[in-house]
A and B are shown apart, each in its own frame.
Chain A
Amino acid sequence: MRLPPAVRWDAIVIGADVNGLVAAHYLARAGRRVLVVDGWEKADTRPDVGWVPPQIVRELGLGGLKIEHPDPWIAAPLEGGGRLELWRDVAKSAESIRRVSPGDAAKWPEFCARMRRLAGVLEALYVRPAPDVETREIGELLRMAGLGLHVRRLGKQTVIDLLRILPMSIAELLDDWFENDTLKGVLGAAGVWHLRQGPRAGGTAFNFLHHHVGSPAGVFRPPRSTLAAALAAMPGVEVRRGTEPAVVAVGGRATGVRIGGDEFSAAVVVSSANPQQTFEPLKAQLDAEFVRAVGNIKMRACVVRGSSGGNGSRAPLCVAPSLDYLERAYDDAKYGRPSAQPYVEAVGGGTELHVQYAATVDAGLAARVATALGVSTDQVTLEAPNGHLYHGELTLDQILFMRPVPGWSRYRTPIEALYLCGPGTHPGGGIAGAAGRNAARVILKET
Chain B
Amino acid sequence: MPHPPPGTYDAIVIGGGHNGLVTAAYLARAGKKVLVLEKRPRVGGAAVTEEIFPGFKFTMFSYVVSLLRPEIIRDLDLPRHGLHVLPLESTVTPMENGDYLAAWGDHDETRRELCRHSPRDAEAYDEYGRLMHHMAHAVRPILGMVPPDPTSFDPRDLLALLRLGKHFRGLGAERLHALVKLMTMSSADFLDEWFETDVLKATKSASGIIGTFLGPRSPGTAYVLLHHYMGELDGVFRAWGFAKGGTGAVSEAIASAARGFGAEIRCDAPVARVLVKGGRATGVALENGDEFSAKVVVSGLDPRRTFLQLLEERELPADFVSDIKRFKFRGSSGKVNVALDALPSFTCMPGVGRQHRGAFSISPSLEYVERAYDDAKYGEFSRRPYMDIVFPSMIDPGMAPPGKHVMSVFVQYAPYNLNGGWNDTKREAFGDAVINTIESFAPGLKSHILHRQVLTPADIERITGLTEGNIFQGELALHQLFFMRPAAGWAKFRTPVRAYYQCGAGTHPGGGIMGASGRLAALAILGDGA
| A:287-319 near B, CB below 8 Å | 296, 298
Determine, out of B18-26, B60-68, B175-183, B386-394, the stretch whose residues face the partner at the interface. Answer: B175-183
Interchain CB contact under 8 A, B479 and A134: no
Question: With A and B bound together, what is the CA distance between A134 and B165 in angstroms?
Answer: 10
Partner of B479, one of A152, A167, A334, A407: A167
CA distance A312 to B180 in the complex (A): 47
Give the chain A neighbours of B189 by CB distance below 8 A. 298, 397
Most B-side CB within 10 Å, residue of A165, A197, A202, A334: A202
Best-surrounded residue of B177, B186, B214, B484 (most CB of chain A within 10 A): B177
A167 touches B488 (CB 8 A): no
> What residues on A are CB-neighbors of B326 within 8 Å?
176
Q: Which of A20-28, A155-163, A366-374 contacts B (4 or more CB under 8 A)?
A: A155-163
Which residues of chain B are within 8 angstroms of A134 by Cβ–Cβ distance? 169, 173, 176
Q: In the complex where A164-B488, A202-B478 touch, is A406 in contact with B180 (Cβ < 8 A)?
A: yes
A200 within 8 A of B: yes
Report the stretch among B91-99, B134-142, B370-378 that lies at the interface. Answer: B370-378
Task: Take A134-B173, A397-B185, A406-B177 as given contacts and tell me if A163 and B479 are in contact as well, using a CB distance cutoff of 8 Å.
Answer: yes
Task: Give the shortest distance, in Å, between B220 (CB) and chain A (any CB).
Answer: 4
Q: A residues within 8 A CB of B183?
A: 396
CA distance A91 to B193 in the complex (A): 48
Residue of B nearest to A328 (CB): B378
Chain B nearest CB from A6 CB (Å) reads 42
Interface size counted on chain B using CB atoms at 8 A: 35
B483: interface (CB < 8 Å): yes
Structural contact, A402 and B479, CB atoms closer than 8 A: no
Please state if A335 and B479 are interface contacts (CB–CB under 8 Å). Answer: no
Q: Does B219 touch A at the CB level, under 8 Å?
A: yes
Instruction: Report yes or no: A133 in contact with B176, Cβ–Cβ below 8 A.
Output: yes
Q: Tell me the complex Cα distance, A202–B184, Å.
A: 8
Residues on the A chain within 8 Å of B478, using CB: 167-168, 202
Flag whether A78 is at the interface (Cβ < 8 A). Answer: no
Q: Taking the nearest CB of chain A, how far is it from the CB of B216, in angstroms?
A: 10
Residues of B within 8 A of A335 (CB): 367
Hey, what's the 0/1 contact readout for B165-209 against A, CB within 8 Å counting as 1?
000110001001100110111100100010000000000000000
C-alpha spacing A197/B370, complex, angstroms: 13
- Kindly state whether residue B495 has any CB partner on chain A within 8 Å: no
Residues of A within 8 A of B218 (CB): 200-202
The chain A residue with its CB closest to the CB of B478 is A167
B479 touches A406 (CB 8 A): no
B401 to chain A, nearest CB (A): 46
Residue B150 interfacial (CB < 8 Å): yes
Q: With CB as the reference atom, state the residue of chain B lying closest to A168.
A: B479
- Whether the Cβ atoms of B378 and A202 lie closer than 8 Å is no
24 A-B pairs whose Cβ atoms sit less than 8 Å apart in the complex: A133-B169, A134-B173, A152-B151, A159-B150, A160-B488, A163-B488, A164-B484, A166-B479, A200-B218, A202-B184, A203-B184, A324-B378, A331-B374, A334-B370, A335-B367, A395-B184, A396-B185, A397-B180, A397-B184, A397-B189, A402-B177, A402-B180, A406-B177, A406-B180
Binding site for A on B (CB under 8 A): 150-151, 153, 168-169, 173, 176-177, 180-181, 183-186, 189, 193, 214, 217-220, 326, 328, 367, 370, 374, 377-378, 477-479, 483-484, 488-489
Nearest 8 CB-CB pairings of A with B:
A406-B177, A396-B184, A167-B478, A202-B219, A202-B220, A160-B488, A397-B184, A156-B151
